[in-house]
Amino acid sequence: MSCCILQVPLNYAQTNQSSISISMLLLSPPNQKNNSLFVLSQGPGESGLGLVSIIDQLIPVEYGITIIFPDHRGTEYLKNRCTIEGLNQFSMTYAARNLAILIEAFQLIGRISILGVSYGTYWLNRFLTIYPNLVQPPVMNSPLKPLLHSFTMYNIRAASMTSQFLPYCHYQIECIKYFPVDRPGVMLYKILQDIDSNNQLSQGLSSSSSDPLATDVNTPVLNTDVLYYYIAFSELWLYFNQSDIDQQALNTFQNATIIAPNLRSDLIALRDA
């Protein structure tokens, strides 16, 4: 077992600018053969080691396959970078480009394969869209088909759920006291603005902590998975051909969806850098 860290561009549209570190774990069997398998299982903010404990059930060590677990960008110490520039680190397209760099950096000999599990199927599907001939064969294992269901519009669905949650919260005393007293659209804007200006709060959201505070019998809503998934996760992924996300792009996404008539554009807003 060995670990590796590789530097990759934060923004592939500006490769001469800042970079981030991508980590991975490599498992080498004793009877190593010239076959390697990259296992993609988790998304932004989650370790890529989710299948390590059961990988021997899927790929017996007797096969002699070298197994590599890469982390998605935006994992661990990078996950609290929530500025507009930082959004790019979560991009599935950029994660796919990272994977290509990892494959080239390892200079592996023999057959190279990729297994995508759960979110990893979306990651692998994006990789194959950009690099259709780099590996063989790819395997996807997920209850959702990436060709029929995509995270591209995740921010739209999340905004819809958030706009429904906030009016409900408005009439619950133990809920609304943790939010600005405004219309849902204004509340959402102020919440995102507060998150962007408060690194500690942003870090708390990224940890998806749902444990009650010792000094409060009622867990503050801002420290729950509700906002973590519905708001903090509402801006994570870019479309395939996008290098940067902006308000115009979000408006275009919204207008292209069948639920657009039910959503006002002021309910979907980027945080300022």
Pairing of strands 111-117, 138-141: parallel
0.85 exceeded by pTM:
no
Domains and CATH numbers, the chain: 2-141 (3.40.50.1820), 151-267 (no CATH)
Helices (H), the chain: 55-58, 92-106, 119-130, 154-170, 173-176, 184-197, 199-206, 225-230, 247-255
Per-residue tens of pLDDT for the chain, all 273 residues: 778 888 888 777 776 777 777 888 888 888 877 788 999 887 665 666 777 777 887 788 888 888 888 877 765 444 444 445 555 556 778 888 989 988 888 777 788 899 888 778 878 888 888 898 888 788 887 655 555 555 544 445 555 666 677 777 778 888 788 777 777 667 767 776 666 565 444 444 333 333 444 444 334 434 444 444 434 344 444 444 545 555 665 565 555 544 444 554 544 444 332
231 vs 263: CA distance, rounded Å: 15
Token duo for residue 15: 């490769």
